[in-house]
Amino acid sequence: MGCTVRFHDRVGRDRLAAACEPVTVEDALAILESALVETCRVAVEDLVCEIEVSLVADAEMTRLNFDHMGERGPTDVLSFPLHNWEVEAGRSRMADDDISPPGEMLLGDVVVDVDQAVRAAAGGQWSVLEELVLLVIHGALHLLGHDHADLDEEAEMRALERQVLTTLHRRHHEIAWTPGSLFDRDGHAVRSGT
């Protein structure tokens, strides 16, 4: 299995660097890529795929949110899946009416508003990188058919988020995951050492 991630910086390197401090942009993107690869692994296992990730500012997200969702103002993450998926017991599989292309499958685009992530992190007192990690995991799960329209779907999606976050917490000791961060907040509870 493999997941290729392509990042598109539409917020500007300086703004992204300031948001991710003290972690370098390269290290932050590596962590985000690790989060996406792990998300695909837990949701579909052996799929060879590609995900496009655009890091944007409020202005672009506001436009996208209105154009595609009919909502005014920015949102934190939008996903644009290219395939239809069915989810069963936390696993995604291609819907019967969808065609799986040979080779690497482009799953779609995840668009993350870095300005929103900065505000959420400041309000929650965790790092912007932690917020970005959660947003790309959440967005990738939407690409793979997961949703949170009802309580059962939400519980299943949150369980996968926790599973990915737990793996990342164990794997990336170089990140100072903040106690009280998204790893501990309601709906995303991951405890240290679990």
Domain map of the chain by residue range?
2-171
3-state secondary structure of 111: strand
Quick one: pLDDT at residue 192? 29
Q: Which residues, given as ranges, of the chain have pLDDT below 50?
A: 180-181, 183-194
Quick one: pLDDT at residue 88? 87
Query: Rounded to two decimals, what is the model's pTM?
Result: 0.89
Can you read off the two tokens belonging to residue 64? 């996208």
pLDDT digits (tens, 9 = 90+) for 168-192: 988 887 776 665 445 444 444 333 2
- Architecture of the structural domain at 2-171: 3-Layer(aba) Sandwich (3.40)
Cβ(112)–Cβ(147) below 8 Å? no
Q: Which amino acid makes up residue 7?
A: F
Cα(183)–Cα(27) distance, rounded to whole angstroms? 20
